[in-house]
Structure formats: structure tokens, C-alpha cells
């Protein structure tokens, strides 16, 4: 059933951990809550888990008041960042714990518990380690035990609070792909809290980007990356060049690079454009609008090369990305002179009465006209 969060707020003294948060979660959806520390992600997760309660707002599941149900009644599985395994219990005993502590009338028979535990250990690929203790496992193995324990109670909603935060990079990559496959197999509604945008972009069906207790944008990974809704999302998701814009005689522009249009009908005088490194064209033909740039540094990162470009006209250092194999073909060496221009940007005007405040409702996405 769809879970509907309506205008949730939660304050701790003078700090608003959640501020008027509304969100819907579809059955079987993998939703990532993404944002910096202090943005409200874990507070929202704790409310769903029954470990905290909002000061205002509701959570409904069909006609059921989800918040009125106790934590055991919510059919929720919760996985913490630091595993929270019982050190004195074996892997099998940890996985079985949630079933064994149920009230007698709801507790499965011992044979059923053993069967369920063995099935889960096989699913998380730990069937040969059931007699070990947590101290005898690697970090990735402990996290899989924690996930198996959460799945043992057959939850309708699986909550993951930065489950890979304590693991090294290579293990994280392996486990998150395994988790996505497990999610597709079980079709659980899953809420995944992370501050790692790469994890969110790779795993989630939808991403809710949070900042200062509010949701800035909700959408598919592609929509959030390609069409960020606010300056915060532009700067938080991926890498971006932030370029000041000003109204010119005809249209808008930045230095020698003009936009021969005014999307805001003369209502504003200044704005800001966000251009991703892969959206900078590095060899603009003569006669077309472009900045003159000097290539300062080339940073190789495997198959991608990151370029630092100094544009004197606007006194900015811009970042551009190209395939490493194209460096020689394009003659990209430090000191090279280039003609560069955006081939896509997202722009926001500034409120003339508050010069540093972006007017989000007038967000504008631009691409150059098709010249074919």
C-alpha cells in the first residue's frame, strides 16, 4: 500500500529537524533520502520506524494511521549504519532474534524459525558462517547479517540508515549492487538514507533530496541529475560550474558568451547558471559565441580526465570532463588555448530586492538551438 507523509515537522529546541515534509512512497519502491548531515534524513527514518514522533503532520497507509501503530505493529525492518549486532550471539542467533522475541501467540515454532534463518542465510550468501560470532566476520558480512535479521520478521517496509557508511569503497560498491538485486527479488518498499550521491543515483527508483529539514526535489535519478530544481540540488548532486549571469543589451550572458534571449521578460538583472563539466564544449568553431580559456591542469581519473580551465573574461576557473583517450586527439595539454561554451545549463535569476536569493519558481533550462 502507498505510504503518504503529509506535512511532517519535528523540532529539537530551536532546531527544525523536519520542516513541513510531504512525500509519497509507492509499494515496492526503492526511495533514497539524500542530503548532507543535519538535513533531516535520519529523523524521518526514525519516525517511520516508530523510534520518534513528529510534532505535526500525519503518515497514512491506505486508511490506517501509520503513526498510531506501535513499532512492532508497523511491519518494519530496520538496518543501522553500525550493524547493532549482538556480540554474544552467533550469526544464526542474531538473525533469529526478531522471531524469538515475538509474543508467544505470534512466535513461529522452533522448526519454522530454523527454516526461515537458513533460508535467509542462503539468500545473503552466508549459509556457511551461521555458527560464527560477529567479531569473526568482515564488515561486509556483518552488514549482510544485519540485513538478514531485518528481513527475518518479513517486513512490509525496509529502512536502511546509511548501511554502508562504515565500509571501504570496494565493499560498498559490491554490497549496494547486491542490495539492488535483493530488492528487485523481494519487491519490498525500501527507504535508504545516505549522504553518498553515487549510491543514491545507482540504487534508487526515486531520490528525495533533503536540506535543512525540507525536501528540495523528488524525482528519478536521471531527473534529479539532469534537471535539478533548486540551486542547492545543482550544487549538491554531482559537480557543477557556477557562472554569474547578467542582463545584456540583447538577452543575457556571461562576459563574451551571450544568450540572445531573455527568458524572464526583463524582470531581473542578475542570475546564476549551473553547467556540469560534461556540458562544456571545448572546441567551439570561430564565429560562434565562446570564451577563450587556458587549460591549467589535467587530472586523470581512470577513463575520465578532469580539466581545469581558466577563463579570463569572467575570471573563473571552470571544470570540464572528457574521455582520457581523447586527450591526445584534442591536443589537450596544460597551457593549451581553447574556445569553450556551455551546451546545456540550468539558470536561476536573483531577486532584485535580495541580490543573493535565487528565484526558484523562474528556473530555466537552456540548450543551444539545433544548427543542422
- Does the pLDDT of residue 125 top 90, yes or no? no
Q: What is the pLDDT of residue 330?
A: 83
Q: Is 272:245 a contact under the CB 8 Å cutoff? A: yes
Q: Is 126:144 a contact under the CB 8 Å cutoff? A: yes
Q: Is 333:285 a contact under the CB 8 Å cutoff? A: no
54-80 confidence digits (pLDDT tens): 999 999 998 899 999 988 788 899 988
Q: What is the pLDDT of residue 372?
A: 40
What's the fold here for domain 3-231?
Rossmann fold (3.40.50)
Q: How far is CA 61 from CA 18, 32, 208, 275, in A?
A: 20, 19, 19, 40
Kindly state the DSSP code that residue 283 receives in the 8-state scheme: B
Q: CB atoms < 10 A from the CB of 258, how many?
A: 14
Q: What is the pLDDT of residue 353?
A: 73
Could you give the CA distance from residue 320 to residue 294 in angstroms, rounded to a whole number? 12
Band the pLDDT of 355: cuts 50, 70, 90: low
80-100 confidence digits (pLDDT tens): 877 789 999 999 999 999 889
Q: What is the pLDDT of residue 370?
A: 62
Percent pLDDT > 70 in the chain is 98
> CA 278, 284, 288, 290 torsion: positive or negative?
positive
Could you give the CA distance from residue 33 to residue 200 in angstroms, rounded to a whole number? 8
132-172 confidence digits (pLDDT tens): 999 999 988 988 898 899 988 889 899 999 888 767 777 77
100-110 confidence digits (pLDDT tens): 988 888 889 99
Q: Which of 15-29, 117-131, 298-312 has the lowest mean pLDDT?
A: 117-131
Sequence ranges of the domains in the chain: 3-231, 241-366
pLDDT average, residue stretch 10-23: 95
Read off the C-alpha cell for 282: 571545448
Please list, in sequence order, all residues whose beta carbon lies within 8 angstroms of the beta carbon of residue 194, skipping any fewer than 6 positions away.
Answer: 32, 33, 34, 41, 162, 164, 165, 200
Read off the C-alpha cell for 333: 595539454
Please list, in sequence order, all residues whose beta carbon lies within 8 angstroms of the beta carbon of residue 72, skipping any fewer than 6 positions away.
Answer: none
Band the pLDDT of 368: cuts 50, 70, 90: confident
- Does the pLDDT of residue 313 top 50, yes or no? yes
Indicate left, alpha or beta for 233 from its phi (over 0: left) and psi (-120 to 50: alpha). Answer: alpha
* CA 351 to the chain's CA centroid: 29
Cell 545516505, located at residue: 194
163-181 confidence digits (pLDDT tens): 887 677 777 788 888 888 8
pLDDT average, residue stretch 342-360: 87
CATH for 241-366, options being 2.40.50.140, 2.40.50.100, 3.90.1010.10, 3.20.20.70: 2.40.50.100
- Does the pLDDT of residue 111 top 90, yes or no? yes
Q: CB atoms < 10 A from the CB of 40, how many?
A: 23
Could you give the CA distance from residue 338 to residue 358 in angstroms, rounded to a whole number? 31
Q: How far is CA 169 from CA 139, 165, 198, 295, 336, in A?
A: 12, 9, 11, 31, 35
Indicate left, alpha or beta for 150 from its phi (over 0: left) and psi (-120 to 50: alpha). Answer: alpha
User: Which pairs count as long-range contacts for 67-75, CB under 8 Å and 24+ apart, including other chains?
Assistant: 74/48, 74/49, 74/50, 74/157, 75/153, 75/154, 75/155, 75/156, 75/157
Could you give the CA distance from residue 144 to residue 181 in angstroms, rounded to a whole number? 13
Average pLDDT, the chain: 91
Q: Is 33:27 a contact under the CB 8 Å cutoff? A: no
Amino acid at each position: 500500500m502507498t505510504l503518504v507523509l503529509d506535512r511532517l515537522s519535528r523540532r529539537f529546541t530551536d532546531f527544525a529537524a523536519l520542516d513541513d515534509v510531504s512525500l509519497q512512497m509507492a509499494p515496492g519502491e526503492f526511495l533514497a533520502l539524500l542530503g548532507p548531515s543535519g538535513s533531516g534524513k535520519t529523523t524521518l527514518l526514525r519516525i517511520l520506524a516508530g523510534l520518534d514522533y513528529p510534532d505535526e503532520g500525519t503518515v497514512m497507509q491506505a486508511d490506517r494511521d501509520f503513526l498510531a501503530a506501535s513499532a512492532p505493529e508497523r511491519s518494519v525492518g530496520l538496518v543501522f549504519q553500525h550493524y547493532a549486532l549482538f556480540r554474544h550471539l552467533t550469526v544464526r542467533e542474531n538473525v533469529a532474534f526478531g522471531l524469538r522475541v515475538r509474543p508467544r501467540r505470534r512466535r513461529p515454532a522452533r522448526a519454522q524459525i530454523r527454516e526461515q534463518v537458513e533460508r535467509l542465510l542462503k539468500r545473503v550468501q552466508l549459509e556457511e558462517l551461521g555458527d560464527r560470532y560477529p567479531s569473526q566476520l568482515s564488515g561486509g558480512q556483518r552488514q549482510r547479517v544485519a540485513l538478514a535479521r531485518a528481513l527475518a520478521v518479513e517486513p512490509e517496509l525496509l529502512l536502511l540508515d546509511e548501511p554502508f557508511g562504515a565500509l571501504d569503497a570496494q565493499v560498498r560498491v559490491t554490497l549496494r549492487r547486491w542490495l539492488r538485486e535483493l530488492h528487485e527479488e523481494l519487491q519490498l518498499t525500501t527507504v535508504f538514507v545516505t549522504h553518498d550521491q553515487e549510491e543514491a543515483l545507482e540504487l534508487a527508483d526515486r531520490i528525495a533530496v533533503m536540506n535543512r529539514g525540507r525536501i528540495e526535489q523528488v524525482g528519478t535519478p536521471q531527473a534529479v541529475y539532469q534537471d535539478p530544481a533548486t540551486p542547492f540540488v545543482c550544487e549538491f548532486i554531482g559537480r557543477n560550474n557556477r557562472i554569474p549571469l547578467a542582463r545584456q543589451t540583447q538577452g543575457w550572458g556571461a562576459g563574451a558568451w551571450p544568450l540572445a534571449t531573455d527568458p524572464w521578460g526583463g524582470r531581473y538583472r542578475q542570475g546564476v547558471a549551473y553547467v556540469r563539466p560534461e556540458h562544456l564544449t571545448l572546441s567551439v568553431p570561430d564565429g560562434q559565441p565562446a570564451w577563450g580559456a587556458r587549460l591549467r591542469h589535467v587530472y586523470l581519473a581512470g577513463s575520465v580526465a578532469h580539466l581545469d580551465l581558466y577563463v579570463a573574461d569572467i575570471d573563473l576557473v571552470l571544470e570540464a570532463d572528457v574521455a582520457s583517450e581523447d586527450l591526445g586527439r584534442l591536443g589537450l595539454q596544460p597551457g593549451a588555448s581553447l574556445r569553450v561554451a556551455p551546451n546545456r545549463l540550468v539558470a536561476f535569476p536573483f531577486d532584485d530586492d535580495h541580490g543573493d536569493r535565487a528565484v526558484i519558481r523562474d528556473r530555466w533550462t537552456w540548450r543551444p538551438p539545433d544548427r543542422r
